[in-house]
Amino acid sequence: MPDQGEAANPAAPSPATPTPATPAERPWLRTLPNGKPISALGFGCSSLWAKSSFPDARAAEILDTLLAEGVNHFDTGPSYGEGLGETRLGRWLVGKPLDQLVITTKVGTNLVDGRIERGFTPDLIARSLDGSFARLGIDKVDVLYLHGPAVEDLGTPVFDFFERLKADGRITYAGVNSFDNPVLMKTAQSPIDIAMLQYNVADFRNRAAMIALHEAGKVVMSGTALARARFSPASFLPTSPGKLWYLLRMMRQEPLFPVTGLRLARRLRETGKEPAEAALQFLTGQPMILSSLFGTSSVEHAGENARAGHGQLSNRQWTRLADYA
């Protein structure tokens, strides 16, 4: 189960599915402001899944498994595998009911003329987006995120660009994907519709921003729902090239994760559930988050994670985990 990764246009977004009284009341399927259903968990088409060394057939099998388990939210971007993440998702989308799927991609980490180029000028991100549509094989996405913008990137030129895309029917919502609190706080006061931030059972750094965004009527998504599986150090044993890749990445990001991960695992097991299951249900039960992304390179784990997301922590279990924030 470990995660080792990552309609009509409303004039202005109203809040998404109303905040429930308690976490346990949250359904698996929620709705975007335009009424389109979105699953509580989504899949990040990135990381090892988007690498050329990862088999195409297995990548497609993971998506098939997720769809069969009720996952309809798929997020990608041009920088994942230098376009391969979008290409693989696009191949899989052929013949799928797009009106029942939520597809999102990004600009800012742009793929232009075969090279990754950072920038948020309208001309540059327009060129990157054209490439994304071509690789995805579609002419519209539900959400287009600015990928890691700085505060100064959130200005009239970008906002006007998003409005033109909405008017042309190419996107439904404008988004910001950032883990930077000043950026997220500015997003809360901007015309942006949706923010994807970092919030999971091991990382509450964006909690204040999450509250501000929710109170401003923005839709909130979360990345890395399973905290990069730091609660399962044994799953990083380098028994395959893929696991070695994950181990090296994790050691760069958090050298002490074998110790901190074991502490997190004990805390999650206090719920009476397996750590991955409890971690997922902590996110699916968070009243301010509409949908949370996870990643995996395992077909088995993809199915397990999706099924776990259909379950719920009790209010007491959920509150106990939330108290660590």
Residue 174 domain flag: yes
Give the domain CATH number at 170.
3.20.20.100
Instruction: Specify if 35 maps to a domain.
Output: yes
Question: Does 278 map to a domain?
Answer: no
**How many domains, the chain?**
1
| Residues 246-279 as b or e (16 or more Cβ within 10 Å = b) | bbebbeeebeebeeebeebbebbeebebbbbbbb
Establish if 248 belongs to a structural domain: no
Which residue in 262, 228, 275 sits closest to 247, CA to CA? 228
Contact 200, 282 (CB under 8 A): yes
Counting DSSP H helices and E strands in the chain, the numbers are 11, 12
- For residue 131, being part of any structural domain is answered with yes
Q: Which domain holds residue 223?
A: 23-228+284-314
- Does the residue 160 lie in any domain? yes
pTM: predicted TM-score of the whole model, two decimal places: 0.87
In tens digits, the chain (325 residues) has pLDDT values of: 444 443 333 334 444 444 544 665 789 999 999 999 999 999 999 999 999 999 999 999 999 999 999 999 999 999 999 999 999 999 999 999 999 999 999 999 999 999 999 999 999 999 999 999 999 999 999 999 999 999 999 999 999 999 999 999 999 999 999 999 999 999 999 999 999 999 999 899 999 999 999 999 999 999 989 877 666 656 655 566 666 555 566 666 766 666 667 788 888 999 999 999 999 999 999 999 999 999 999 999 999 999 999 999 999 999 989 887 5
**Gap between the terminal Cα atoms of the chain:** 24
**Is 308 part of any domain?**
yes
In a domain, 108, yes or no: yes
